[in-house]
Amino acid sequence: MTQLTAVSGANRPIVSLTDVIKTYTLGKVEVPALRGLSLDVYPGEFISIAGPSGSGKTTALNLIGCVDTASSGVVSVDGQDTKTLSERQLTDLRLHTIGFIFQSFNLVSVLSVYQNVEFPLLLQRKLNPKEREQRVMTLLEQVGLDKHVKHRPNELSGGQRQRVAVARALVTRPKLVLADEPTANLDSVTGQNIIDLMKELNRKEGTTFIFSTHDAKVMNHANAVVRLADGKILDRITPAEAQKAMAAGAEGH
Amino acid sequence: MFQLLLIALRNLASHKRRTLLLGGAIAGVTGLLVILMGLSNGIQTTTVETATTLMTGHVNVAGFFKVTAGQSAPVVTAIPALQQQLLQEVPELDYMVQRGRGYSKVVSDTSSMDLVLGGVDIQNETGFRKALMLREGRMEDLEQPNTLLLFEEQAKKLEVKVGDTVTLSSPTMRGTSNTVDVRVAAIAANVGMLSSVYCYLPNSTLRALYQMRDDATGALHLYLKDTADVPAVQARLMKRLPELGHKVLDHNPNPFFMKFETVNREAWTGQRLDITNWEDEISFITWSVKALNGLTVGLLVLLLIIISVGVMNTLWIAIRERTREIGTLRAIGMQRGWVVLMFLFEAFMLALFGTLSGALLGLAVCLGLNAAHITMPMAVQLIIMSEQLRFAVSPVAVAGSIFIITFCTTLVSLIPSFLAARMKPVTAMHHIG
Ligand SMILES: Nc1ncnc2c1ncn2[C@@H]1O[C@H](COP(=O)(O)OP(=O)(O)O)[C@@H](O)[C@H]1O
Ligand SMILES: [Mg+2]
């Protein structure tokens, strides 16, 4: 149902990949990471990218997040072909449209929890100090870190750091949130909380989520699972089908 | 903006060792620079003060008298009339003194040495008391005839004390030697090179030695209210004195005792005036000041290069260490310019902290050494024209060095900052190291 409203609400995809190829060069060796990936994601969708390690999930998210460039093919975000944008415009797109939760947290080590989360708002320069504080504190409460505002990242556990990264990605209320295995470092309860928070944002604000995961429980919350293998899309299925496929895979072993 | 500053500050704080090392290096260079400039400036001030009192006025009207073409004496005659004309022509004048000039063998019981004689009317020589520090005797005693002021160095060589008698023996133009016995009335602390060349006696005694008339002397020293007027006054006298009927030598920027050869080679006889300024008369000493200035500048350039390389290197390391962080900041939407700005802040604060503490340290050293009154070895005294080191730190120079070093450091940090900002976010984020 969510998918229906989303699709009818906007007939233009917020993310559109067309025949995207990404090849890394490691010295003289060419490593193909994506081999002709095509994918449309519509506003309001909650998409899970699944696939074995090395299948290209992170690479795809990096391209969508405009932190890397494709070797060929078209990557469109929010209706704009990223190849045509200047570095400055790409940076603005990352700041205002995209929230990225990196697999390895990537927090600023010299800033406190509060300052890390506040940082994108300072870059945006849209809110006044009071609104800013309110926004940051609300989000920190939602991720359960309101008691840790003054801590530095190195004083937190892995799970707590990840929650800071989530808060930082969501604080600007971006249209599109990318999350690279957002629950990989979390215990199941916290992982559930984070997913619930994302779901709620998705429902209330129509935020589009694309996250990569191996976690079947997390996949359950998606309205579609895109399965990758060897840099290509295997299929696009429902969570239930994914669950079944995974079970079958497990039995096969 | 504030957050950038905060990040920069925190970065400095979280790398204490590196910050202290680099900040310390910058501080050291700044401190050294302040001390060097203070020394150079101090020597220059001392030299000019001492020399303009003891050897020269700001402008001098001196001259040579020749009975025959090949024999000259450093004498100006008909002083009262000349003085009258100078009073009229130089409204910038503060005061004017007569300074007799001579040359003599000074003979004691055990030893002898050749010295340049300066004839003074000590009661008029207001600067003398400031420029000379007496070790023995009284300045006022030079008011009495047949007295002599020696420098410590000379007294030691001649093995005389205050109250002892020495004989002055000077060759005259007639080819004979005149002598006069004088009593050592005062012994002054050494003032560098000057104290191995000069000694002072009353003008009356000098005239007696050379059997000169009362209206003759060696030179008129003109002290101006403002030394900035020196070139104007000198130029005016060069023009006006010939108009008033005096014969004036072409300007020769050397001290008088180096001119005899030139003057003796010329064919004229009688009286010629020689107009010089203080720089001409002390040109043989100022080389030391110039050399020191050169050294200061050279050292400055060298140190700046070393510091720049050090800063760049350190920032490079700092930036490499934080490449992941830069990648993250870029990935969450920080523009390249801001990244550069962040590192600029960091370099700037480090440099400012370094230069400020260095300048303070240098200042403290200068003041401390001034207060300690350390007597320098003879070789150093020759160069610095004084027994003791004197540091004159000019606020402009300190501010200048703080500015220059801070500026260079900040500028140099631009290069690694630009390189870091140019990286693709994902490349930076996955940087290892
Ligand atoms: N920076 C890189 N340089 C070279 N090869 C890379 C780089 N990043 C990823 N790869 C390769 O690209 C392929 C896809 O990787 P990735 O997108 O990280 O997969 P996933 O996130 O699904 O595990 C893998 O074979 C991986 O080794
Ligand atoms: Mg991955």
Report the alpha-carbon distance of residue B390 to residue B111 in Å, rounded: 33
Which tokens hold the place of A232? Answer: 């290509």
Residue A216 vs residue B384, higher pLDDT:
A216
Q: What is the pLDDT of residues B89-121, one digit of tens each?
A: 999 999 999 999 988 999 999 999 999 999 999
Q: From the candidates B323, B332, B430, B431, which should be mutated to test the interface with A, based on the most A CB atoms within 10 A?
A: B332
* Structure ipTM: 0.89
Contact residues of B toward A, CB < 8 A = 3, 6-7, 10-11, 13-14, 324-325, 327-336, 338, 424-427, 429
Q: Which residue of chain A has the CA closest to B321?
A: A109
Q: What is the pLDDT of residue A10?
A: 53
Determine whether the interchain pair A124/B333 forms a contact, defined as Cβ–Cβ distance below 8 Å. Answer: yes
pLDDT band at B44 (very low <50, low <70, confident <90, very high): confident
Q: Find, among B240, B260, B301, B271, the residue nearest to B65 by Cα.
A: B271
**Measured from the CB, is residue A51 less than 6 Å from ligand 1?**
yes
pLDDT band at B9 (very low <50, low <70, confident <90, very high): confident
* Cβ-nearest to A91 among B330, B426, B429: B330
Q: What is the pLDDT of residues A151-164, one digit of tens each?
A: 999 999 888 998 99
Q: Whose CA is nearest to atom 2 of ligand 1?
A: A24
Report the alpha-carbon distance of residue A106 to residue A62 in Å, rounded: 14
Residue A132 has pLDDT above 60, yes or no: yes
Lowest mean pLDDT among A20-29, A206-215, B30-39, B212-221: B30-39
Residue B123 has pLDDT above 80, yes or no: yes
Residue B47 vs residue B396, higher pLDDT:
B396
DSSP A125: T
Residue B219 has pLDDT above 80, yes or no: yes
pTM over 0.95: no
Q: What is the pLDDT of residue B239?
A: 94
Same domain, B45 and B60: no
Same domain, B67 and B44: no
In chain A, where the domains are located:
15-108+174-252
Report the alpha-carbon distance of residue A20 to residue A77 in Å, rounded: 13
Q: CB-based contacts of A85: which residues, under 8 Å, 6+ apart?
A: A66, A93
Domain boundary among B281, B315, B350: B281
Same domain, B187 and B307: no
Q: Whose CA is nearest to atom 5 of ligand 1?
A: A24
Assess A71–B contact: CB distance below 8 Å, yes or no: no
Q: What is the pLDDT of residues B225-268, one digit of tens each?
A: 888 899 999 999 999 999 999 999 999 988 888 888 899 899 99
Q: Is A84 helix (H, G, I), strand (E, B) or coil?
A: helix
Across the range A3-19, mean pLDDT stands at: 71
How does B93-107 read in b/e, with b if 16+ C-beta sit within 10 Å? beebbbbbbbbbebb
Residue A171 vs residue B55, higher pLDDT:
A171
pLDDT band at B325 (very low <50, low <70, confident <90, very high): confident
Whether A224 and A237 have beta carbons less than 8 Å apart is answered as: yes
Same domain, B13 and B139: no
What is chain A's Cα-based Rg? 18
Q: What is the pLDDT of residue A5?
A: 44
Q: Is A1 exposed, middle or buried (0-12, 13-18, 19+ CB in 10 A)?
A: exposed
Among A58, A68, A181, say which to mutate for ligand 1: greatest number of ligand atoms within 8 Å of CB: A58
Q: Is A106 helix (H, G, I), strand (E, B) or coil?
A: coil
**Measured from the CB, is residue A54 less than 6 Å from ligand 1?**
yes
Domain boundary among B281, B311, B342: B281
Domain boundary among B281, B307, B341: B281
How many residues are there in chain B? 433
Q: What is the pLDDT of residue A220?
A: 85
Among A24, A211, A234, say which to mutate for ligand 1: greatest number of ligand atoms within 8 Å of CB: A24
Residue A253 has pLDDT above 60, yes or no: no
Residue with tokens 């910050």: B19
- DSSP characters for B174-224? TS-EEEEEEEEEEEEPP-GGGGGTEEEEEHHHHHHHHT--TT-BSEEEEEE
Superfamily of domain A15-108+174-252: P-loop containing nucleotide triphosphate hydrolases (3.40.50.300)
Same domain, B277 and B290: no
Q: What is the pLDDT of residues A78-118, one digit of tens each?
A: 999 999 999 999 999 999 999 999 888 889 888 899 999 99
Across the range B164-190, mean pLDDT stands at: 88
Residue A9 has pLDDT above 70, yes or no: no
User: What proportion of chain A, given as a percentage, has pLDDT over 90?
Assistant: 63
* Cβ-nearest to B332 among A62, A95, A110: A95
β-pairing, B59-68 vs B219-224, is antiparallel
Residue B310 has pLDDT above 90, yes or no: no
Distance from the Cα of A91 to chain B's closest Cα (Å) equals: 5
Report the alpha-carbon distance of residue B271 to residue B69 in Å, rounded: 11
Q: What is the pLDDT of residue A4?
A: 44
Mean pLDDT, chain B, as a whole number?
A: 87
Q: Is B227 exposed, middle or buried (0-12, 13-18, 19+ CB in 10 A)?
A: middle
Residue A52 has pLDDT above 60, yes or no: yes
Whether B221 and B281 have beta carbons less than 8 Å apart is answered as: no
Handedness of CA A71, A77, A83, A85 (dihedral sign): negative
Same domain, B329 and B391: yes
- DSSP characters for B316-327? HHHHHHTHHHHH
Q: From the candidates A108, A150, A166, which should be mutated to test the interface with B, based on the most B CB atoms within 10 A?
A: A108
Which chain B residues are within 8 Å of A62, Cβ to Cβ?
426
Residue B312 vs residue A8, higher pLDDT:
B312
Number of independent structural domains in chain B: 2
CA of A54 relative to ligand 1 center, distance in Å:
6
Residue B418 has pLDDT above 60, yes or no: yes
The pair phi, psi for residue A146, each rounded to 5°, is -65, -15
Same domain, B137 and B191: yes
- Ligand 1 atom index nearest CA of A181: 21
Residue B269 has pLDDT above 80, yes or no: yes
Q: Angle, to 10 degrees, between the axis of helix A158-170 and the axis of helix A129-142? A: 140
pLDDT band at A192 (very low <50, low <70, confident <90, very high): confident
Q: What is the pLDDT of residue B382?
A: 65
Across the range A50-69, mean pLDDT stands at: 94
Across the range B152-166, mean pLDDT stands at: 94
The C-alpha angle with vertex B360 and arms to B356 and B366, in degrees rounded to 5, equals 145
Q: Which domain holds residue B421?
A: 2-49+286-429
CA of A62 relative to ligand 2 center, distance in Å:
10
Residue A178 has pLDDT above 90, yes or no: yes
Same domain, B272 and B381: no
Q: Is B403 exposed, middle or buried (0-12, 13-18, 19+ CB in 10 A)?
A: exposed
Q: Find, among A104, A85, A101, the residue nearest to A93 by Cα.
A: A85
User: What proportion of chain B, given as a percentage, has pLDDT over 70?
Assistant: 97
Across the range A16-35, mean pLDDT stands at: 94
In Å, how far from its chain's centre is CA A120? 16
Same domain, B276 and B396: no
Which tokens hold the place of B349? Answer: 């604060």
Report the alpha-carbon distance of residue A88 to residue B173 in Å, rounded: 90
